[in-house]
Structure 1
Amino acid sequence: MSFCKSSRQQAILDAASELIATIDLEQRLLYLNPSARQLLVLPHDLDLEKERLTVKDLHAPAVYRKLDTEIFAGLLEGKGRWEGELEFRDSNDQPIPMQMTIILHTDEEGRPLWITGIGRDLRRRRRLETQRRLAKRAFDHAIEGLIVTDGRARIQHVNPAFVEITGYTAEEVVGKTPRLLRSDHHDQAFYDAMWQSIADKDRWQGEVWNRRKNGSVYLQWLTITCVRDVQGRIENYVSIFHDLSEMQAKEEEIQHLVHHDPLTGLGNRHLLSERLQHGIRQAKGQEEKLALLIVDLGHIQLINDSLGHTNCDRLIRMQSAKLKAKVQEADTLVRIGADEFALLVEDYSSLHDISQLANELKEVLQEEIDLTEHRVTLSPSIGVAFFPQDAETPDQLLINAQAALLEAKKAGRDTFRFFDQEMSQEARERLKLEQALRSAIKGGGLSLSFQPKVLLESGHVYGAEALLRWCHPELGPLSPGVFIPLAEESGLIVDIGSWVLRQTCKSLVSWREAGLSLPRIAVNISVQQLEQEEFPDWLEELLHEYDLDISLLELEITETGLMKNELKALMSLARLKERGFRIALDDFGTGYSSLSYLRKLPLSTLKIDRSFILDMGDDPVSLSIVKTIIQLAQNLSLDLVAEGVEDSCQAQQLFDMGCPHAQGYYFYKPLIEDDFIQLLAASSS
């Protein structure tokens, strides 16, 4: 069957995949082929003779201006043909980039008749170009090395990371095979298995040792993938590899940090735990013995507070070097705390060897240390526990060595102690009590009692001392003489002191709201609180929070407590005095340097210790001391309080000697808050 010429032309136009459009000289569309209608999202049955559609309808304003003033004008001026890119807009106003050829049709005399445009959709090509650009950018900027070979494994492309990792330039490797990177770490069987996996799965990955251009060998993680054509033939191999050298170095550094102390370079508690587990496991299998020594340098906090962190760190490094010089290479020396070290000795010969070692460590740590501008001497303590006689597990061995260390400290330091079972029981009881005290601080197990202070002349209550009480959930009420030393040793005394001060402020506020006349309350302050640089600021802010006058508080310190850190405490007390706080010195006369303290301390009040009051009726020396203290207070214009007054004779004798204030069981025992409130109410009426 044959078609006429016009039918054949129409069939070609209809079958064409390109956009084909014809317009008249007024830019009205005369013809759009099916591909053009589909591309522009126009109805396939759109009648262009009835629907007036112009070129302007198919383009954004800026594009149309270019068409109208440049392209069409150029065609009409005789150029006859234009080729280039134009952007169309479909009926949904979506942009369509097109590669266009625009032709002007003329009659035999050259007069313009109509214009035809033929265009190809560029969107797919643009997407491919974008993908190629992204792929190239990824190829060029990947931190992994990339190699692309042909089907015969000849290198075609490498990326900059390949050059950086291997040291070879692209020019040096293109056309060659990756065989030039091989090291001598793998045999032929390794490579045969690798290529067999690629043949079976089109992919292989794993660790490979390769060689750089400079001859150094490095470990890499390598992935090789096949790229096949539509017939299944291998066109390319793509290799991606990551240099594991840096990762290995970082992992080794991390492992070092995990197991070592950054200040001294020694192992840390984590390393000790691992060595203890390994050592005990090996000792059990070979019936060997272990000794664990815990070494405390002694009062390192005082060095830190008085000479600063830099000198303290230097001191710790110097002492750790001394310890290291004394231990065998097979032994494990670690730093487990600020000033604590642990030494694990495996398979020692005799108990005497450990005793001798402990003594040598003690002596070398006692040597005077030169810190340039300062010379200091420490008082080390050492605790020792043995496997298997003292413990059979790593944790218990460490606990028992710590218990022995505590005994060495109690013995006055500058010594060492071995563990025994009685010591273990005492340590467990102490730990249990400490945990209960922690719970009491958080859970409301503490309370305050108030012992009134009176004017000896009238018996009138003018103040009180806040006294801490703790009722243990199992043991009942405990004496402060039991739990206060525990709090000081464990560091809990700071939290307890803060609780007492805040609770005192709360009580004063509640008494004020009840309309009672507020007495001055004395609160005991620990030297550890005074060691905190921010304590004066904190206390001032606390009183401001409760809107209380500074004169309502008197801070009591003990002479024996001050001796633990005199310099730091005196500085803190001076700051408190500058802000208007009253300072009272308790147990005056029981220390070793009382008169020097009177000169240094910013005091408001002296308290005569109850031991002198108790004995002054029968002991002339005690009576003389009391008289001297009273005279000192008068000469220094200090308030004076006698504590522990238990009978009328003592009260009268003190009054006759000129002591104006007192507290004790003769007047009032410590009262719970409700009873003290009743006393205040009665005194106010």
Structure 2
Amino acid sequence: MITFSFFLLAFLILIILVFKYQQLRKTTRELLAFRYAIENSDNVVVLTDKDRKIEYVNDAFEAHTGYTKHEVLGKNPGILKSDLLSDDFYKNMNETLDRGERWQGELINRRKDGTLLYEKTSIVPIVVDGELIQYLAIKLDITDYIEQQQKLQQSAAVYETIGDGIMITDSEKKILSINPSFIQMFGYDEEELIGQEPTIITSTKQDRIFYRRMWYSLMTKDRWKGKMYNKAKSGKRLPTWLTITVVRDKVGAIANFIAIYANLEEIIEMEEKADYLAYHDSLTQLPNRAHFERQIVDIFDLAKMSKEKVAILFVDLDRFKVINDTLGHHVGDGMLVELAERIKKVLGKNDLLARIGGDEFVVILNPVKEKKDAGVMAAKILSVIREPINVQDYHLNTTASIGIAFYPEDGEDRSTIVKHADSAMYHAKDKGKDNYQFYTKQLSLDVQARLNLEQELLHAMEREELFLYYQPQYYLKSGKISGAEALLRWENLNLGRVSPDKFISIAEETGIIVDIGYFVFEEACKEYMHWKEQGLDIDSISVNISSVQFREDDLFEKLKEIIIKVGIPPYSIEIEITESFIMEYSTTNLTILEDLRNIGCKISIDDFGTGYSSMSYMKSLALDTIKIDKSFVADLPHNTHDVEVSKAIIALSKSLGYHVIAEGIETPEQEKFLLEYHCDIGQGYYFAKPMDSSAFVAFVKEKNQ
């Protein structure tokens, strides 16, 4: 009996244990589910102890506040306070919690990065067996909602109080709403405008093309802005700056138009003056580059709509800089004003002429029917530019090179068309100047050919394809050879003999010119010493050094090292630099010229008259010789302009103590003229062509015996 009672008791205890176990397991699963919900909730959950020290925060807390759990555990939630809520606010909240009641409200806190955090918050005291043990706070981030409401309130305030008139229409252009400023600006009552179209305030100032452009912009860009003249109820014409925006629905259909009218009445006169100054050249009063770039986009858009052709003519004056730098800017300015007037007179009323650079003009022929029409206009422009110009007692002549490209066949955007017209203009210069050239795809192919040449040039030195020729320089009075200019030549297996005009600029752009420059300098010095060993009686060897090479910090040290290595007397070396070098570096940065001169080298300006420099600028530099560019010598003594320029260069050079060399002498008449006006030294095909070293030695021995 006892045994049976014992087993019965044991069985009951087992049943009780199983039941308790199941209850515990259920509670545990519920707690785990609760924990999982808290951990993965989008709401911020914060648990503090009874002293309000943070014991737990979930992942959402970190995401919304920027603080990590480790940074806030043990801290008071007050670390988030923004100080935008009053002390009374927090006092009332704490009194509610102290009474063991739940508190609900909106908190304005700060994230770790200082930005505001708006939170809808519920804080609950947790009481177990009558004892407060913790506080549980659940927060919903409402920052986006609050900011959106603030923006809506601000927008409404702006709409009501802004000084600009605002009109909202539906997709059919029927007026839905206007603000108080619109009513005040145009004098209508709201009832008179609702349901009407905006044409009720439209004046006749704008033409059909104006509205075509406006609607094209609205339909393609959803926005248009510009100056428009409107009409008030009184009939008064009102100048406004109008901005129209298209509002589309989710499927892309037009839902509304919003138009903002800024009254320009008080500032229209000042605005027109400012606009004119901003978009016109102060010298010629022509539209400037900014005006051209703004107009060409509209012109192309209209041409696209009407399927018309537009011609772009790039006009670049030939040798203008020579006149400007030699005779002075006042003379050059006078020439530009005269030429601008001449070109305007031959253009049509719909054509645009703009000055986009110092001596660069652009013409837009809009529209043009045939390609030949653009050629005829280019020929007219060349003709009027070619006519003699009288400026301040100077009788001047100049020419121009014109490049022509067409929209849309040569490109459908501004940058492409401008690039192609520019390429055609440079092609015209390569063709001898004073002509016009149409853009062709071949010009783009020439770019590829240039890239091929660049690749071959990269390996020219290692293949030993570069060598020197020497052109004699001689005293004009006696005919005795004074020296020689070292000239670089290139013979490539694939390209054959390549002209320096084609590869020198590429060598400079790629930086290869630096190594080539040292090669030329050393080879020329070696050859000069070899000549002296053979008894040649010549004074110097001239070597061109690129302005790119002068950017090398150790240029002087390397040149000096070569001089010592070869053993050449520095006074036997004449360093030739170009005018572009003078403008690229200020006098304070030209100490290398002084250093070269201090060890005995002579300094020469090559191709004088083709760049931007002036004698007044160069008088402060360490120079010995001026070389008159061959472009001035070519038409001597028949071209009056070249005669005056050459005489001026010689006279100014002599007054500053410089020797003068004229290059490009090809006729006895040129030599006679230069001798008559006291040019010191000549160089050119009339006396001798460039030749290799052995031929040069034989030539000097024959001439100087």
Max Rg structure: 1
TM-score using structure 1 length: 0.45
TM-score, structure 2 as length reference: 0.44
